[in-house]
């Protein structure tokens, strides 16, 4: 009986964690489409108005975005990116980094 309850509890926790991860991925995709895609393109490869984000690792993306947020990083579009990064939480940046790394 105790083993059955333990297995049910473990399975329930695993399913909840999977659902939360799926929601986070969906939220990151929606955030990217709302805040990033207009300049960087839906697939992250747009280069006319900005540098592509496609091909960046999650670590590189996070480092750049945290730099924009802290106003210690940036090139010609620095002001635009600083404003965009300032509106994001650290959790948003982490989610976006995971999303961008998969583009």
Residue 91 lies in a domain: yes
Residue 10 lies in a domain: no
User: Is pLDDT at 15 greater than 60 in this prediction?
Assistant: no
Residue 94 lies in a domain: yes
Q: Among 25-34, 38-47, 91-100, where is mean pLDDT lowest? A: 25-34
Positive or negative, the Cα torsion across 29, 34, 36, 42? positive
Q: Among 14-18, 42-46, 93-97, where is mean pLDDT lowest? A: 14-18
Distance CA 68, CA 86 (A): 8
pLDDT tens-digit map of 30-53: 999 999 999 999 999 998 878 899
* CATH number reported for the structural domain that contains residue 59 in this entry: 1.10.760.10
Torsions phi, psi for 47 (to 5 deg): -125, 0
Structural element, H or E, at residue 94 = helix 90-101
Residue 55 sits in which domain range? 23-101
Task: Quote the pTM value.
Answer: 0.74
Distance CA 43, CA 23 (A): 20
Q: Are 42 and 29 in contact (CB under 8 A)?
A: no
pLDDT tens-digit map of 62-89: 999 999 999 999 887 799 999 999 999 9
């Amino acid at each position: 009986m105790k083993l059955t309850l333990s297995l049910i509890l473990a399975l329930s926790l695993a399913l909840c964690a999977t659902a939360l991860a799926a929601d986070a991925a969906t939220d990151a995709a929606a955030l990217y489409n709302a805040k990033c895609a207009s300049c960087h393109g839906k697939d992250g490869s747009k280069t006319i108005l900005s540098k592509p984000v496609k091909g960046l690792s999650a670590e590189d993306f996070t480092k750049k975005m945290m730099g924009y947020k802290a106003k210690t990083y940036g090139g010609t579009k620095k002001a635009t990116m600083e404003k965009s990064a300032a509106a994001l939480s650290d959790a948003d940046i982490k989610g976006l980094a995971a999303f961008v790394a998969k583009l």
